[in-house]
Structure 1
């Protein structure tokens, strides 16, 4: 299957503001996460095999690091009209089934995905306590077909560096996965330009 790689985003970029609702209609904004030691903004999907492959380990990461002062927020920006399994209602079911103990928000307009430069799912943005980008890369080396165990090693290592007061990782491997399912006619300039090899 054709894969999409995450865009290059400059380390130190400030997290764009957002105001999005979860499946219950409750609004969440970037300001709600102020004061945390780190914030992970994750663009996810309910159907992409690359997210399905890591979702349980991702939920475990979020639970483990929440105890260390790290917050997580997930955003689904896929076109729900074309893909009903990506609807706001479906997000609530996904979160409950897989133990997502963090807000899972619907970006129906896709404006937030565009503001972040998100290209694929999963697309992971780890910000430091000042909400400046510290890590933008893969969860780990595991893929649905390569037989490597899912550990979250890359994201965990980056998060540990924040908590230890160290600098950003020198190497940050691009995330790869399914492209965000853009609304017809409103695809961003980078759509289709970041094809990746598995």
Structure 2
């Protein structure tokens, strides 16, 4: 399956509203998740080799972002009928295995992925305190193989956002597996 790259498009649009459950059924909305500095949204899934390669660093970097005052959430939008490994039950296992310090939500009708324009896993969106998009890029230079010593691009970008109110000029697209859309 070929890798998909996130599109380079204008920044500054507002985070779309959503209300999604975690695997236990607890529902979270955009307002519940935002931090004082903004919100970082990860579109991920359990089976993607790109996500598996960064899952532990995702946990570490998310904790740094939470400590900086950002809210953090992950959303899985894949069609679980075709990809049962991405089911809510398996999401709970994946989140526990990687000690996610953030909610991992299930987008069953794929409306959140469509509203954000998410195209792949991982697809990362960084919003400022006013919930305007300032970063859409990768976690770091890892691909299907972990690069543990790679510069922390997402953390650096979100530090830049809270210092300047703008996203960094250079933003590298994320690369991953396509979101598995329902027919």
Instruction: Give your verdict on TM over 0.5.
Output: yes
SS of alignment partner, residue 2 of structure 1: coil
Q: CA separation in 1, counterparts of 2:123 and 2:131? A: 17
Written as runs of structure 1 = structure 2, the 5 A alignment for 1:30-109 is 30-109=30-109
Give the Å deviation of 1:52. 0.3
Q: CA separation in 1, counterparts of 2:114 and 2:65? A: 27
Change (3 A) 1:130 1:19: same
Give the structure 2 partner of residue 167 of structure 1. 166
Change (3 A) 1:120 1:166: same
- Any unmatched runs of 5+ in structure 1? 185-198
Give the structure 2 partner of residue 180 of structure 1. 179
Contact 2:34 / 2:71 at 8 angstroms: preserved in 1?
no
Greater helix proportion: 2
Cα RMSD of the aligned pairs, angstroms, is 1.5
**TM-score, normalised to structure 1's length?**
0.87
Matched, 1:156 2:175: no
Which of 157-166 and 105-114 deviates more?
157-166
Contact 1:61 / 1:152 at 8 angstroms: preserved in 2?
no
SS of alignment partner, residue 68 of structure 2: coil
Give the structure 2 partner of residue 125 of structure 1. 125
**TM-score, normalised to structure 2's length?**
0.94
Q: How many residues align?
A: 183
Deviations 1:168-192 (A, max 9, x none): 11111111100001112xxxxxxxx
SS of alignment partner, residue 53 of structure 1: helix
Contact 2:34 / 2:70 at 8 angstroms: preserved in 1?
no
SS of alignment partner, residue 54 of structure 1: helix
Change (3 A) 1:45 1:76: same
Deviations 1:46-105 (A, max 9, x none): 010000000100100111221221110100000111111111111111111101010100
